[in-house]
Each structure stands twice: as C-alpha cells, then as structure tokens.
Structure 1
Amino acid sequence: MTSMHPRIGWIGLGDQGAPMARAIAEAGFPLHVWARHKASLDVLDGFTYEACSTVADLGTDSDIVGLCLNDDPDVREVVTNGGLLESLKPGAVLVNFGTGLPAFAAELARLAVPHQVRVLDAPVSGGHAGAVEKRLTVLVGGDPDVVATVRPVFETFATTVAHLGGHGAGQTGKLLNNTLLMANQQNIAELLDVAGRLGLDLSALVNVIRAGTGSSVALQSLGCTITTDNAEHLSRLQLIDMDIYRKAVALLGDEIDPLTDRAVAGAEALPRLARLVTS
C-alpha cells in the first residue's frame, strides 16, 4: 500500500457496520461499498463513498476489506462463492469484524494464503451505541504487522484496539467477553430476586449499585441501551453467541459447564431484567 489513505472496501451495513463505515468515510479514507440491496446504501447518505456492483469489483478496488456480517457462513459465502479472495491483490488485508468461531478465523487465514491476502479476525464490542459514538473495542487476532497496518482504520470508530494473539485470538477474546457480560446479567437477576424478597425498592437499589462498587456494564446497560423494546431481540442474539462459545470451548471438557450455564441463564433472563429495571 503506497497511499497514506488505503482504499477501504466494506460489506455489511447493519446496526454496527453502518456507523463503522460512516466513521471510516468521515476520516477521509476512500470507501468502496457493496450491498445485496441498493436500499441498504441509504445509511451512507451524506457521506463520500463509491458503490460497487459486485463483490469482485469491490475486491479489485480495495487495499483493506472489512466484513461486518451476521455469521461465519455469510463470511464464507462472500469470500469464496462471491469471489472476494480471487479479486483481492497480493498484500491486501481482509478483516472479519463479525463474531464467530476461532477455528473459522484460522481457516479463513489458510484459505487466503494462496492469494497472498492477509487476514485479521477483529470482532468488536460496544453495540450500536458504541459504534455511533466511535467508542468500540476491537479484539484482534492475526499478525502484529498487519494489525499495525490496519490500526488507523480501527481508530476511526474505536477507542480501544487490543491485539490478543494469532488467528482466532480475537474471536476467542470476544466470546469470553460476551460470556462474562451474560454471567453478570445472571448475577443481577439473582441479586434482584433476593432484594425483592427482602422488600427493597428495586429501582432505587439499581440506581445505588450503578453508582457504587458493585456496578458493571451489564447493569449500566439495563434501562439505557437495553430496554423492554429490544431486550427480547438482544436475548436471542446473546443465545446465538453462547452457542458459538459452547462450540469454541468444547474440547476443554465439562468442568467449564457452570460458567457456560450461568451465562446462558443470564442471556435468557435479559427480558425479565429489562422489565424489572424499568417497572
């Protein structure tokens, strides 16, 4: 890459992907975007970008390509059947921002070797609000030199960029982060059950704990970014993440089941927690 501003290709304009793409364009990086449906590009109105008619066109026009897709099968479809790998020039970088299996991250890196394409797994934490406010956390797996190359792009939408190790380390870190969040949700659910049985005002108690040493992101989010309107949807997404986590840690044996079960219970409890906090 000889330009101070490498050309950025982008696929995925959902709740997180759209504000991330906007941040990249706003920072002055040439942005090339492909979307299955033309209407999806409306989220970039007012920003400078070039729409690509095919995935292969995007690959040809890009030095770094970011994928912000739903799951590993979607990534595989775009990268292989969509012709992305074949269209990228040697030395280009492919970054998977979605959450998935560490094993798939390693497989994706192997698939890219014959094309001389470098790969990073870089799932993000912070949700839609963090993406809009450009304060995401990026958990990265891959070669440190490649991470250094892409870091200026990460920093357009993130306040924290953590390189955790080789291919798959970013995904592992994200899954562990998600598991702790959901386990904390279960802690809150059990605590509020006890508080209710003791006759405390739950709303007042939540406000006190939020301001004290017992606070957590899980608690801070309730009633703010997590509401009764979106809690059911977020709960389903969390359970999908926990299914991925189970597969990722399956070889560790059943001694880690208590943590997994607590996190799953926390994901299932999210709608009830949202109702309790906002009642």
Structure 2
Amino acid sequence: MADNSLPRTDTQFAVGFVGLGDQGLPMATAIAASGYDLHVWARRQASLDALDDTSRIEHPSLRALARAVDIVILCVRTDDDVLVLLTEELLPATRPGTIIVNVGTGTPGNATRAAELCARASVSFIDAPVSGGRIGAEARTLTTLVGGSTEVFDAVKPLFDSYSAHVLHCGGHGAGQLVKLFNNTLLMMNQAGIADIINLATQAGIDPIALAEALKLGSGASEALVRTPTNSPVSLSDTAAHLSQVELLDMDLFDQAMTEAGIDAAEATARGIAGASALARVVALLNPEPATTVQGGRDE
C-alpha cells in the first residue's frame, strides 16, 4: 500500500513520545539528548516527572501533542492500545504529512490495519519494534526492526539512530513486527533448550550454576543463555515470573501472526511456549534465593 503523504526529509523533527514506561523513558531521553524537540503527554504526571532534567514540552492532551509535532512515537502495551489511540485521539488531530511510529510489539496484520487508517488521513505509519529491553534503551544500543515504505524509513532512520545501534528496514508494513516475533520466538526456543540441558545435567549430578557459566564460554552459548544471570545477589523470582508472562503473550502474538499468514508453526509455537514457561524455574536454579535475616519483625 502506498503512503498518501510525503514526509519531511530533514532530520530535526518535532517528536511526540507517548508511553514513558520501563523502555520508553530512556528512549525518549535519548531522542531529546540527540537534539530533537521532544514533546510528551502522559496520563500521570509522575511519568512526566521521571524525565527529570530532560528538555521537553509537555502537553495537556494527546490531541494537543498531535497538532504540534512531525512524528508521534507510540511505545504502548498492545495493538489494541495503538488502534484506540489512533482512532480516538491522534488521527482526528494529526496534521497531514505527520509520521506515526509504533515501537511496541504487535502483529503484522494490525500494523497493516494501522497503516491503512493513517493513509486515509494522509498520515504515514511505520512499525518499528525494538529489541534489547530497558538495558539496551539506556545504553542506546537497541535493534530497531522497521516495516513500511522506503521513503518513510529514510526520513525517520536518523531519529531511530538516536537510541539504536542497529536499524534495519525489513520490508513493507508489518515486516518489522513479523521479524520481531521471529526474534522473540527464537529467543524462547533457545530458553527451552537451556532448560532441557540444565535438567539433564542436574540429573547427571552436575552443578547447574557451574554448567551455565561454562556454557556461556563455549560454542553452545546463545544470547538467551548469556542474558540469564547466575548467582545474583538479589532475588529474581518476581522479575523472572513477570518476564515469563510477557513472553507467553509474545507467543500468543506469534501464533496469531502465523495463523493469519496461513503457516503451520505449531511445533515452533509449542517450543517457544515451553521456553517461556521454563524461564522462572531455570532462573531459580541458577540464582538460589539470597539468605535473609529477620530481626524484630517483618523483613522490609
């Protein structure tokens, strides 16, 4: 589908950012630090206050932000959130020629639907999910996977460079989301392999922590393994359980995307679900709960 608008070609856009959460906050900070005029809106003032000394222009409503910027970046939780913001707030107020970017993870089908909605309003849309988490956002080393027209990609790539180490154009609308889902699924399939090996090693009498540290140095290492901590001095049980739930949601998106594409991915889906489900158990084995001493009552 062709875009109905011609985006600006200079790099100094006025950039609106929506979604100042765990990953969005450092991304927005990086954008402002790179010299862009950063415009923000949030439902809670605390989210805006978390920007600290970051230079920004705060808006009282999302529509006010939309009227003031050249690009709107959405870093929100779900595709449903994106579509609601587009139809109820952004598109009624956004000027023709504006570019709307979704950096969250969703399905290719919803990216295409969002692009169609935007095109009717002479607005460009691009899906640009990121990989690397909060750590990558803070270090400005995210990988950004982009789906959309080459023209829009060329216009916004310098902006993506402000928080990314790698920016890849993967194809048309939805391609960025599809590549991100393949990436996430492979990560979880690797987690399933890690769980299998650690289970077998434990049965064989091998210390799982020593095994993991050895494997991280060998040819069997993977990004999934390298990112799995060992002997952490703090409890990771809540974090691992939360991440496991997030990964299971990603597997739902992958399954939906494959179904919409008419592809039988049952084996890969099952393997990814196994890896996501095993994450908390593996983290617990490699990071025994630190000892705590309770003195005079409940440990805070």
Q: 1:201 aligned to 203, 207, 213, which one?
A: 207
| Count of aligned positions | 278
Distance 2:170 2:10 in 1: 28
1: CA distance, partners of 2:15 / 2:69? 5
5 Å matches for 1:131-210? 131-210=137-216
Shift of 1:49: 0.1
Q: Which residue of 1 aligns with 2:102?
A: 96
In structure 1, C-alpha distance between the alignment counterparts of 2:241 and 2:263, rounded to whole Å: 29
Q: Distance in 1 between matches of 2:266 and 2:9?
A: 49
Residue 13 of structure 1 corresponds to 20
Structure 1 CA distance, aligned partners of 2:32 and 2:120? 30
1:251 and 1:243 mapped to 2: Cα distance? 12
| 1:137-195 C-alpha deviation (Å, 9 max, x unpaired) | 10110001111111111011100111110000011011110000001000000000111
Unaligned runs of 5+ in 1: none
2:91 paired residue number: 85
Q: Is the 8 A contact 2:17 2:41 kept in 1?
A: yes
Q: Is the Cα–Cα contact under 8 Å of residues 141 and 163 in structure 2 kept in the other structure?
A: yes
What is the distance in 1 between the residues matched to 2:9 and 2:199? 59
Deviations 1:240-266 (A, max 9, x none): 111111111014667421111010010
Q: 2:79 aligns with which of 67, 72, 84?
A: 72
Report deviation, 1:4. 4.6
Residues of 2 paired with 1:133 and 1:252: CA distance? 35
Give structure 2 stretches of 5+ with no counterpart.
Answer: 1-7, 289-300
2: CA distance between counterparts of 1:91 and 1:256?
38
Determine which of 286, 295, 300 is the counterpart of 1:277: 286
State how far apart, in whole Å, the 1-side matches of 2:180 and 2:51 are. 27
Alignment check: 8 A CA contact 2:145 2:168 kept: yes
Q: State the alpha-carbon separation in 1 of the partners of residues 134 and 32 from structure 2.
A: 18
Alignment correspondent of 2:246:
237
Amino acid at match of 1:60: R
1:32 aligns with 2:39: yes
Match of 2:131 among 125, 131, 136: 125
Pair member with larger Rg: 2
Deviation at 1:115, TM superposition (A): 1.4
TM-superposed CA distance for 1:229, in Å, is 3.7
TM-score (norm 1): 0.96
Counterpart for residue 52 of structure 2: 45
What is the CA–CA distance in structure 1 between the aligned matches of 2:173 and 2:261, rounded to whole Å? 19
Distance 1:166 1:155 in 2: 20
How far the C-alpha of 1:200 sits from its partner, in A, is 1.1
2:66 paired with 1:59: yes
Counterpart in the other structure of 2:291: none
Match of 1:256 in 2: 265
Distance 1:213 1:16, change over 3 A: same
CA deviation string 1:11-62 (max 9, x = no partner): 0011110000000011110000010111111221110000011111111111
Give the partner amino acid of 2:112: A
| AA in 1 matched with 2:123 | V
Please state if 1:247 is matched with 2:253. no
Contact in 1 for aligned 2:258/2:264 (Cα 8 Å): no
Q: Which has the higher helix share?
A: 1
Q: Give the Å deviation of 1:228.
A: 2.8
C-alpha separation between the residues in 2 aligned to 1:4 and 1:210?
40
Q: CA RMSD in A?
A: 1.6
Contact 2:131 2:180 (C-alpha < 8 Å) held by counterparts: yes
Choose from 253, 266, 279 the match for 2:275: 266
In 1: Cα distance, 2:201 partner to 2:245 partner:
27
Match of 2:294 in 1: none
